[in-house]
């Protein structure tokens, strides 16, 4: 979890975003923003709902989806589709650019940052006379804990 100090200004930005567009600034929307902007993992909408419920906050499905959508449009949240049938989200302000390892067995997502890889992607863009803006790297496979479980059950 991000500390409150880091999350609060982001929530404030979202509040401003809603106000500027004359969208309703409700307690529920702010609660969704607080939970999502305070996440350090890649929750799905279902997981967000569970986290809200755990705090005793009930947010309707339509409001939940609409709020997450607004957070993505505001640029405060990144949307990922790791190909496991649902979308996942994360605050778009990680301190380092990172790529993702996605486990197809447990759906776990691990982040990694690799400077050499980042340089290589920029060089590749250059070689194609392509103006680099951003990249998105995903490695799909089976994570170490799942592999260990496989090996355990095989023996």
Out of 1, 106, 113, 139, name the contact with Zn ion by CB under 5 A: 106
CA atoms within 13 A on the CB side of 133: 0
Q: Which is nearer to Zn ion, 30 or 108 (CB)?
A: 108
Residue 105 interacts with Zn ion (CB under 5 A): yes or no: yes
Sign of CA dihedral 96, 101, 107, 108: negative
Min CB(152)–Zn ion separation in Å: 13
- Which one of 108, 110, 137, 149 is in contact with Zn ion (CB under 5 A)? 108
Query: What is the nearest approach in angstroms of Zn ion to the Cβ of residue 68?
Result: 16
Does 139 participate in binding Zn ion (rule CB under 5 A)? no
Cβ of residue 113: shortest distance to Zn ion, in angstroms? 10
Regarding beta strands 99-103 and 109-112, do their DSSP bridges make them parallel or antiparallel, or are they unpaired?
antiparallel
Quick one: which of 37, 52, 68, 143 contacts Zn ion (CB under 5 A)? 143
Q: Is 146 in the site for Zn ion (CB under 5 A)?
A: yes
Please identify, among the stretches 23-31, 45-53, 62-70, 104-112, the one whose residues bind Zn ion according to the rule CB under 5 A.
104-112
Which window, 11-19, 45-53, 113-121, 136-144, contacts Zn ion (CB under 5 A)? 136-144
- Three-state SS string over the chain comes to CCCHHHHHHHHHHHHHHHHHCCCCCCHHHHHHHHHHHCCCCCCEHHHHHHHHHHCCCCCCHHHHHHHHHHHHHCCCEEEECCCCCCCEEEECCCCCCCEEEEECCCCCEEEECCHHHHHHHHHHHHHCCCCCCCCCCEEEECCHHHHHHHHHHHC
Work out which of 6, 111, 117, 137 binds Zn ion, going by CB under 5 A: 111
User: Interface with Zn ion by CB under 5 A: which residues?
Assistant: 90, 103, 105-106, 108, 111, 143, 146
């Amino acid at each position: 979890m991000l500390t409150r100090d880091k999350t609060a200004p982001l929530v404030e930005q979202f509040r401003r975003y809603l106000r500027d567009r004359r969208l309703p600034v409700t307690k529920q929307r702010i609660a969704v923003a607080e939970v999502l902007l305070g996440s350090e993992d890649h929750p799905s909408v279902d997981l967000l709902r569970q986290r809200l419920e755990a705090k005793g906050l009930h947010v309707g499905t339509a409001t939940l989806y609409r709020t997450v959508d607004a957070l993505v449009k505001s640029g405060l949240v990144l949307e990922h589709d790791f190909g496991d049938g649902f979308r996942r989200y994360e605050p778009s302000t990680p301190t380092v650019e990172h790529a993702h390892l996605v486990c197809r067995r447990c759906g776990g997502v691990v982040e990694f940052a690799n400077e050499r890889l980042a340089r290589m992607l920029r060089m590749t863009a250059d070689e194609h006379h392509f103006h680099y803006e951003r990249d998105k790297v995903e490695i799909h496979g089976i994570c170490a804990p799942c592999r260990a479980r496989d090996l355990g059950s095989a023996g």
